[in-house]
Structure 1
Amino acid sequence: MNGDDELTLRRGLHPWERALLESCGLYLVGGTVRDILRGAPVEAIDEDYLVTGIGLDDLAGILERFGTLNLVGRSFGVIKFTAAGGRTVDVSLPRTEFSTGPGHRDFDVSFDPSLPVERDLERRDFTINSMAFDLGSSVVVDPLGGREDLDRGLLRVNRDDSFREDPLRMLRGAQFMARFGLAVEEGTRACLRRDRALVASVSAERIRDELTKLLVLAPKPSAGFVFMHEEGILEIVLPELDRTYGETQNEYHPDDVFMHSLRSCDLAPADIVLRWSALLHDVGKKDRKQVVGGRTVFYRHEQDSARMAGEILGRLRYPRETQSRVAHLIEHHMFNVTDEWSDGAVRRFISRVGRESVGDLLALREADGRSRGDEAVAAQNERIRARMRRIAESDAAFKIADLAVGGREVIDALGIEPGPGVGAALKELLEVVLEDPRKNTREDLLAILREMGKKK
């Protein structure tokens, strides 16, 4: 729908908004308007503003009466404003951008308070993000038909050279289509295919941020990854995952490695560690595939997958903690706690993987099982979770730091110097109390140490 249309905001105006409307035009813009039209909850909508007919200094003068300002984006005509007790929002003047090179910073940006709001909207990425809501008149300004595209479930770029201006928009489009259930307009798809090689010029940090949004915000991230595979983007961004396409498995897996991984990702909780873990938990299978006794097997694939996941997340500049947690979950995801396991065996498992990882491992196990049609895994997990919770919440020791004695007692009891021998003795004591938690007392452990000393 080109032109203007009315919209109800679903909240009252803030005092600072009313103050601005007395001096200038004030609009909600971009994804804010898209999400209002989608019916997203008010509290979940990030609000971005555009003002017209006022200079930057006068704008700052009004806003500072109602909150604090951050002028870090002043050269681009952007003020970060935090109202008293409110969220931080961007308040911008209309601007134009002209691409001067292939990089996302290669732009000539100029802002002008007298520029029509339509000019600012036209510079944006997709039509659904190129609408403005006039807070003075309650009218939607929609020069490119974004509202109609949103109603039709269509993702369309604003112009033919949009991806050349900023290649990251290809990944952004993938996450938008997955988050909002959109189909990609054919002209947009053709532009993407033409320009896909430019994705290689995008910084790892920016790719990471878009993949994070896809994984955490999309109900089914698989839609975005399938699209990127079909259009040749995934082989540039995540070649390790892309190469698993068509890699058949065995009788326990109806899907190839690629689709199994995507289904697992969809079924995992919307947490960045769990969704990366589910997406990459089998990424090492391709190089571990072999036929043994007529069956296809992937022995020790979890070790390769964990290593590769760490490398991928490191390349994408994720925090080290995220890298290590994902790799840890993948390395230990091939477990099956049965009723035949003794409590001691369960305690050893908890000790090996860490009490803090048990819940995440069970969530990964459930997503993995359900992705291949094993609906019984949820009930199994509940039994395992209840048993592990009972054991984990006991006074049992699960790591060396939980022991009733420490390194000094070992040195004194065994008459040894500080060094590897101390750690070895503590590990032996931990094995004892994992089997029988009642022995985790100072008296019992010192007695065991004395016996160890006699055997030296």
Structure 2
Amino acid sequence: MEKGRCVRSAGGGMRRKREKYFHRSLFEVPGIDEVKEAGRRLGVHVYVVGGTLRDILLGKKTRDLDIAVEGSGRRFAEELGRFIVLKEEMDDYRVIRKGYFIDVIGLGERPIEEDLKRRDFTINSMGYSIFTGEFFDPLEGMKDLERKLIRANGEENIREDPLRILRGLRLGAALGFRIEDETLKLFIKHRGLLKKSAPERIHYELILMFRARCSGYIVPEVFDVIFPGFLKMRDVPKEEMDCLEHSILSLKYLEEIWDELPHSPLSQFSRKIKRNVGERLHLLKIATLLHDIGKPATMSEENGEIHFYGHEQWGGRWWEEVGENLRFSWREIEYIKRMIENHMRIHLLAAQPEVTERAIRRLVMRFGSEVMDLSLLTWADALASGNERDVVPVIKDIISYYYAMKNKPRQILMGRDLLRHFKLKPGPLIGEILSSVQAAYESGDIRTKKEALELAAKILEEKGVRIKRP
């Protein structure tokens, strides 16, 4: 599988699209009619702004509505109904609707152009009056849409809210846009300010970023602030690249594997894998990016060879603390920790002279459905290391075994059931009875555990075994 770029086309002819989509797409946005009526009742200008306008210009469907209103944002939100406060000092509110929301910001006496210039990026700094049809673009955001470019409105805008650094990286990932060089320099220059941002907001942006089909820009200097020690992986050598480059490449390969599953060696399981792993994919991406985070701390040299004994466990402990600080949930923390701590298991299994069914069964029994997640991480790791050929056959065997076992009828009785119920001692007879009872269950002759125990009792009596019925 060759390394590729993940780029989404934004389409051409933005100005033509503006006229084509405004009257059709804008008025298909949920809530636009009631916003227009509220504006008429209050006698104020209403402007569609931000991500709503950007997505319409890109020809994308948008569910939520961003508006700026003349005068008081609170008064307008009250006119629409139930709302919550986003930033009271900014006169910023969110009106809740079933399946969507309307974000309302009040302009007071400010002109719309002033509000637009205070925003984060030029492509989010355009406005459209729903009453006059006038289009406002003080920072030439249309040109940047055409160029597929993320450009900050200014340095002060980044300093004012450093979380815009992560939002810019996320937008680049979600839209497949390039981040302007000067904007990227601002991100790196002011990355330290992210420490002052609420961890809940950082968590939110990270989740959105890794939920994107392509995670886009992984800027090591920025991620080192969020994931302390991230940059240290540069000091760990690998054959053709350092450990940091390897980790980022592993993430890119994971995204490629996911996209290409229907045409991969796992094609027969692709739908099942996507259905099972899909909800955890964003967390698996984080685990893949951080799977070798423990190597700098555990690097040692013996007889001219470099070793990383225990780097998986070190990485798991590190993530436990970092994940908690970033307000990841307990389930999220435990999942990523499991992936980091066990990312070498399939590699080690594949390195054995013979991969036995027993070894695969133990792996599947230990991880359950998450054995698929671990397999994908291992595959991406192997691709980034150049040894895909060694692990893919084993991964295929693991996934095949998992689904074969899952499709197999459950074991109606266990050995301990017979020992406890009939006061028997362990021996070959137990296995014989279990096989006979299970065969009857799979053929439909018996359906319940009670019926299974009755059949077991009958078989024992036919064999002349004196049993004590409860």
**1:46-65 correspondence to structure 2 within 5 Å:** 46-52=64-70, 56-57=74-75, 60-61=78-79, 63-64=80-81
Give the alignment partner of residue 130 of structure 1, picking from 112, 121, 125: 125
Does 2:312 correspond to 1:305?
Answer: no
Correspondent of 1:248 among 221, 227, 237: 237
Counterparts of 1:1-40 in structure 2 under 5 Å? 6=19, 8-9=21-22, 10-11=24-25, 12-13=27-28, 14-20=32-38, 22-23=40-41, 24-40=44-60
2:132 aligned with 1:146, yes or no?
A: no
Residue correspondence of structure 1 range 28-427 to structure 2 within 5 A: 28-40=48-60, 42-43=61-62, 46-52=64-70, 56-57=74-75, 60-61=78-79, 63-64=80-81, 69-73=82-86, 75=88, 76-83=90-97, 86-94=99-107, 112=108, 114-217=109-212, 219-221=214-216, 223=217, 225=218, 227=219, 229=220, 232-250=221-239, 254-268=240-254, 269=258, 271-292=281-302, 294-336=304-346, 340-353=354-367, 355-376=368-389, 377-378=391-392, 380-395=394-409, 405=416
Q: In 2 relative to 1, CA 356–403 (structure 1 residues): closer, same or farther, beyond 3 Å?
A: farther
Counterparts in 2 of 1:247 and 1:345: CA distance versus 1, 3 Å: closer
- Name the CA shift for 1:396/1:362 in 2 (closer, same or farther; >3 Å): farther
- 8 A contact 1:20–1:26 mirrored in 2: no
TM-score by structure 2 length?
0.70
How far off is 1:181 after superposition?
Answer: 4.0
SS across alignment from 1:27: strand
Task: Check whether the contact 2:162–2:193 (CA below 8 A) recurs between aligned residues.
Answer: yes
Residues 239 and 54 of structure 1, relative CA distance in 2, 3 Å threshold: closer
Provide the TM-score with structure 1 as the length reference.
0.72
Partners of 2:210 and 2:283 within 8 A in 1: no
Question: Which structure dedicates a bigger proportion of its chain to helix?
Answer: 2
Partners of 1:36 and 1:357 lie apart in 2 by 38
Alpha-carbon separation, structure 2, partners of 1:298 and 1:88: 49
TM-superposed deviation, 1:178: 3.6
CA 74–57 in structure 1, closer or farther in 2 if over 3 Å, else same: farther
Q: Deviations over 1:147-177 (max 9, x none)?
A: 2123223333223322221222223233333
Q: Is the 8 A contact 2:187 2:222 kept in 1?
A: no
In 1: Cα distance, 2:48 partner to 2:154 partner: 22
CA distance in 2, matches of 1:93, 1:35: 22
Task: List per-residue Cα deviations over 1:252-302 (Å, max 9, x = no partner).
Answer: xx3321111111222335822201110111111123334456543333322
Count of paired positions: 385
Matched residue SS, 1:244:
helix
User: Is residue 6–residue 139 contact of structure 1 (8 Å, CA) maintained in 2?
Assistant: no
**Equivalent pair of 2:77/2:83 in contact (CA under 8 Å):** no
Q: Distance in 2 between matches of 1:259 and 1:50?
A: 43
Give yes or no for contact 1:273–1:326 (8 Å, CA) kept in 2.
yes
**Contact 1:7/1:139 (CA < 8 Å) preserved in 2?**
no
Amino acid at match of 2:137: D
Per the TM alignment, residue 245 of structure 1 is displaced from its structure 2 partner at its CA by: 1.4
Query: Which residue of structure 2 lines up, in the alignment, with residue 421 of structure 1?
Result: none
Q: Which runs of 5+ in 1 are unaligned?
A: 95-111, 415-427, 448-456
Letter aligned with residue 359 of structure 1: M
CA distance in 1, matches of 2:373, 2:224: 29
2: CA distance, partners of 1:58 / 1:202: 29
Structure 2: 5+ residue stretches without partners: 1-13, 259-277, 439-451, 461-470
CA RMSD of aligned residues (A): 3.8
- The CA distance in 2 between the partners of 1:57 and 1:236, in whole Å, is 40
| Structure 1 residues 290 and 32: CA distance shift in structure 2, 3 A | same
1:7–1:138: 8 Å Cα contact kept in structure 2? no
Q: Could you report, residue by residue, the CA deviation over 1:227-261 in whole angstroms, capped at 9, with x for unpaired residues? A: 3x3xx4333222222110142124xxx33211111
**Partners of 2:96 and 2:191 in 1: CA distance:** 38
**Residue in 2 that maps onto 1:105:** none
2: distance between equivalents of 1:243 and 1:384? 34
CA contact (8 A) 2:234 2:242 kept: yes
Is contact 1:127–1:145 with CA below 8 Å preserved after alignment? yes
Q: How far apart are the structure 2 equivalents of 1:124 and 1:373?
A: 44
CA-to-aligned-CA distance 1:53-111 (integer Å, 9 cap, x gap): 677446533x24xxxx224348453443344x5412223322xxxxxxxxxxxxxxxxx
| Cα separation, partners in 2 of 1:80 and 1:161, compared to 1, 3 Å | closer
**Distance in 2 between the 1:281 and 1:347 partners?**
24
Range with bigger deviation, 240-249 or 387-396: 387-396
For each residue in 1:20-56, what CA deviation from the matched residue of structure 2 results, as whole angstroms up to 9, or x when unmatched?
353443322112222223333x15x543122236774
